[in-house]
Amino acid sequence: MLKKTQTSLEVRYAETDQMQIVHHSNYAIYFEQARVDWLRKQGMHYDKLENEGIMLPLIHLEVNYKKPAVFGDQLQVKTFLTEIPNVKISFDYQIYNQRNELLTSGKTIHAFVSSETRRPMRCPQSILELLSD
């Protein structure tokens, strides 16, 4: 496993259904929040990537629901890489509640794409250098 981070989130009422259970669509948002936080903690903000002409479109999303998160839960999203990126970067996630119960796991895969050409590109050296620290 490469660099790993932990992001804290609180389940808001608007994210839940009538039973106060988090709607399944919110997990992709939780993953996105944690991924942006992961990049920031590595020293690479999304804005900086975009200013350098790099986009990271989502090409795969996987969510495994184990237990429901509910309104008011204090979530910890663990985000990590398991391999050095090339043309794609893959993030794995685990979401735990305040009782340290694993609620959800998942994965997203993103392609490195040039904002100028809209074509795939290799992982920028700046990101590879962050991972080697």
* pLDDT value at residue 131: 81
Residue 125 or 133, more confident: 125
Domain CATH code at residue 64: 3.10.129.10
Question: Domain count of the chain?
Answer: 1
- What type of residue sits at position 47? D
Q: Is the pLDDT of residue 1 over 60?
A: no
* pLDDT value at residue 129: 86
DSSP-assigned letters across all residues of 109-130: EEE-EETTT--B-PPPHHHHHH
* pLDDT value at residue 82: 84
Q: Is the pLDDT of residue 2 over 80?
A: no
Give pLDDT tens digits for 9-49: 999 999 999 999 999 999 999 999 999 999 999 888 888 88
Give pLDDT tens digits for 84-97: 999 999 999 999 99
Question: What is the separation, in whole angstroms, between the first and last Cα of the chain?
Answer: 14
Range of the domain at 104: 4-132
Mean per-residue pLDDT for 107-125?
A: 95
Q: Is the pTM of this model over 0.85?
A: yes
Q: Where are the alpha helices (DSSP H) in 18-124?
A: 26-42, 46-51
Q: Is the pLDDT of residue 133 over 80?
A: no
